[in-house]
Amino acid sequence: MADLSNPAVVRALLARHQLRLKKGLGQNFLVNPGVCPRMAQAAGAGPEVGALEIGPGIGVLTTQLAERCQKVVAVELDQSLAPALEETLQDFSNVEIVWGDFLKLDLEALLGKFGDLPVIVCANLPYYITTPILMRLLESRLPLQSITVLLQKETAQRICATLPSRQAGAITAAIAWYSQPELLFTVSKGSFLPAPKVDSAVVRLTLRREPPVLVEDEVMLFRVIRGAFAQRRKTLLNGLSAALELSKVELTPLLVQAEVDPGARAEQLDLEAFARIANRLTRPGSQS
Ligand code: SAM
Please report the pLDDT score of residue 224 as a whole number. 97
Asked if pLDDT for residue 128 goes beyond 50, the answer is: yes
Is residue 95 packed enough to be buried (19+ CB in 10 Å), middle (13-18) or exposed (0-12)? buried
Give the H or E element holding residue 15. Answer: helix 7-16
Please report the pLDDT score of residue 288 as a whole number. 47
Domains of the chain and CATH, by start: 7-207 (3.40.50.150), 218-282 (1.10.8.100)
Please report the pLDDT score of residue 285 as a whole number. 65
Cα 140 to ligand 1 centroid, rounded to whole Å: 20
Cα 123 to ligand 1 centroid, rounded to whole Å: 9
- Gyration radius of the chain over CA positions: 21
pLDDT, tens digit (0-9, with 9 covering 90-100), for 208-220: 999 999 999 999 9
pLDDT, tens digit (0-9, with 9 covering 90-100), for 251-263: 999 999 999 999 9
CA distance readout (Å), 73 to 98, 107, 109, 235, 286: 7, 12, 12, 45, 48
Counting from 1 in the atom list of ligand 1, the atom nearest the Cα of 25 is 19
The pTM of this model reads 0.95
pLDDT, tens digit (0-9, with 9 covering 90-100), for 37-82: 999 999 999 999 999 999 999 999 999 999 999 999 999 999 999 9
List the residue whose alpha carbon is closest to atom 8 of ligand 1: 27
d(CA 193, CA 58): 12
List the residue whose alpha carbon is closest to atom 20 of ligand 1: 25
Please report the pLDDT score of residue 1 as a whole number. 78
Half-sphere exposure of 78 (CA within 13 A, CB side): 21
Averaged pLDDT score across all residues of the chain: 96
Residue to substitute in 17, 29, 103 for testing ligand 1 pocket (most ligand atoms within 8 angstroms of CB)? 29
Cα 266 to ligand 1 centroid, rounded to whole Å: 33
